[in-house]
């Protein structure tokens, strides 16, 4: 009987109930959407580099090494000599190694010198390999492969010329050795999208006529002559390392950290990423708090709606009492109404969430490299839905108790 009365009352107030349900649905969709974005961003953040066992650079801090070697943020305190790089590469427990040379730029985008091994071994988003959207991987000394953001921002196409600037935010350019865009990479959502990639030999080639950060006056070696030179690098900024067996990772890390020829640092990318996320993760906490407040506001709005409807329903409550309904029956009916509204709002919010995911998933992936998988709700999300329904029942107790205390005489009184 209580259930029938509750649904009849809800249908009688369909417009008010519908608006309250919609408010709860939108707040739940927002909260769960923020949770999806948070977990997706964290996963994308962790998947910036995968399949790499160690990152090696000059001794500094683990986060600093990760920032400049993977995210192209900041600068190295020092370089790693080429001899040390070769020593590490020659170790029997090293499966592969990729050199990275940083320092130059192109119109605010970082230029990275590396080898063909970078395109073979760099992985992101749980093992995905870099793919060329247009053109080919560089096969000439003055070829370059650019990231998707570089091409989109600067309007570059294959075969367009690129002039690299010396250093960061520098007005000194290597105009005598221009590069040619040989390929444009597909969007990855990683710092590779904002990187101009050249060969290690090319980094040496453009600095043939430079000394102490400046071009030697009156000196300009022709490109044909440079091609015949020995362009073996003198140093690298960092190196990505893959080991033969995961069991050898910690032993190799210890050996590199104790390297006697020069002070080096080897870090585990996953551990450094977790440390970095711990630093920037306060933003996700603030975002969750804001979305939680939206849910709380919607629930308080529902309570206010029930309160405001009590004056209109005083005669209804009095009639129920006069017909023999017990006070707890009225209390139960109001709590049940609020619970139904909260449950409908939460379920409708889940529907809104998945419709939004289906629409925005390809847009976020192509524009920001943020992958939000469309999966069944996690246990955390299920508990959020249950919590919203329970909170709806709890907040309804306040107006329900007030109705419980209404007297028959007060309800039947005609206001004049």
pLDDT tens profile 127-169? 889 999 999 999 899 999 999 999 999 999 999 999 998 877 6
Model pLDDT, residue 325: 66
**From 79-83, 213-217, 311-315, 379-383, the region with the lowest mean pLDDT:** 311-315
**DSSP state, residue 45:** H
pLDDT at 201 over 90: yes
Model pLDDT, residue 312: 64
If DSSP codes are grouped into helix, strand and coil, which group holds residue 252? helix
Q: Pick the residue with more confidence: 4 or 97?
A: 97
Residue 201, CA distances (Å) to 234, 266, 279, 289 in order: 10, 25, 37, 50
Task: Look up residue 378 and give its two tokens.
Answer: 């996690």
Q: What is the pLDDT of residues 8-44, one digit of tens each?
A: 666 767 777 888 888 888 888 888 888 888 777 777 7
Model pLDDT, residue 248: 92
Contacts 24+ apart (CB under 8 A), 273-280: 273/45, 273/46, 273/48, 273/49, 273/66, 274/46, 275/62, 275/63, 276/63, 276/66, 276/67, 277/42, 277/45, 277/46, 279/63
Q: What confidence tier does 416 reach under pLDDT thresholds 50, 70, 90?
A: very low
Q: Pick the residue with more confidence: 1 or 220?
A: 220
**From 55-64, 113-122, 219-228, 276-285, the region with the lowest mean pLDDT:** 276-285
Q: What confidence tier does 211 reach under pLDDT thresholds 50, 70, 90?
A: confident
Model pLDDT, residue 313: 66
Calculated CA dihedral for residues 218, 224, 225, 229, nearest 10 degrees: 130
Q: What is the pLDDT of residues 229-249, one digit of tens each?
A: 889 999 999 999 999 998 999
pLDDT at 412 over 60: no
Rounded Cα distance, 170 and 167, in Å: 6
Model pLDDT, residue 265: 96
**DSSP state, residue 149:** H
| Residue 35: Cβ within 10 Å count | 20
Average pLDDT of the chain to the nearest whole number: 84
If DSSP codes are grouped into helix, strand and coil, which group holds residue 279? helix
Model pLDDT, residue 407: 43
Q: What is the pTM of this model?
A: 0.73
Model pLDDT, residue 342: 87
């Amino acid at each position: 009987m209580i259930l029938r009365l509750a649904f009849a009352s809800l249908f009688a107030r369909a417009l008010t109930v519908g608006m309250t349900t919609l408010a709860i649905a939108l707040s739940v969709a927002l909260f769960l959407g923020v949770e999806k974005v948070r977990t997706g961003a964290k996963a994308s953040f962790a998947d910036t580099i995968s399949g790499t066992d160690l990152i090696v650079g000059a001794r500094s801090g683990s986060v600093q090494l990760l920032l400049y070697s993977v995210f192209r943020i900041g600068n190295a305190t020092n370089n790693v000599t080429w001899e040390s790089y070769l020593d590490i590469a020659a170790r029997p427990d090293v499966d592969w190694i990729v050199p990275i040379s940083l320092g130059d730029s192109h119109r605010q985008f970082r230029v990275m010198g590396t080898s063909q091994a970078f395109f073979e071994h760099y992985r992101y988003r749980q093992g995905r390999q870099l793919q060329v959207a247009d053109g080919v991987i560089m096969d000439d000394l003055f070829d370059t492969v650019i990231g998707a953001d570089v091409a989109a921002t600067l309007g570059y196409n294959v075969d367009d010329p690129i002039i690299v600037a010396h250093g960061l935010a520098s007005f000194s350019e290597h105009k005598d050795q221009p590069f040619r865009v040989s390929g444009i990479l597909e969007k990855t959502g990683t710092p590779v999208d904002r990187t101009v990639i050249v060969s290690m030999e090319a980094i040496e080639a453009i600095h043939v006529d430079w000394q102490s950060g400046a071009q030697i006056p009156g000196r300009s070696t022709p490109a044909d002559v440079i091609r015949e030179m020995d362009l073996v690098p003198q140093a690298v900024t960092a190196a990505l390392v893959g080991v033969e067996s995961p069991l050898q990772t910690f032993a190799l890390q210890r050996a590199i950290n104790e390297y006697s020829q020069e002070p080096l640092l080897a870090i585990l990318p996953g551990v450094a990423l977790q440390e970095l996320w711990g630093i920037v993760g306060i933003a996700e906490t603030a975002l969750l708090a804001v979305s939680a407040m939206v849910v709380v506001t919607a629930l308080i709005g529902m309570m206010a709606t029930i309160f405001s409807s009590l004056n209109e329903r005083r005669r209804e409550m009095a009639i129920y009492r006069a017909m023999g309904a017990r006070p707890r029956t009225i209390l139960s009916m109001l709590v049940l109404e609020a619970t139904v509204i909260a449950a409908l709002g939460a379920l409708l919010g889940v529907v809104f969430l998945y419709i939004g995911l289906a629409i925005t998933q390809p847009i976020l992936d192509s524009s920001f490299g943020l992958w939000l998988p469309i999966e069944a709700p996690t246990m955390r999300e299920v508990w959020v839905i249950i919590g919203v329904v329970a909170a709806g029942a709890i907040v309804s107790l306040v107006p329900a108790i007030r109705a419980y205390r209404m007297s028959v005489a007060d309800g039947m009184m005609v206001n004049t």
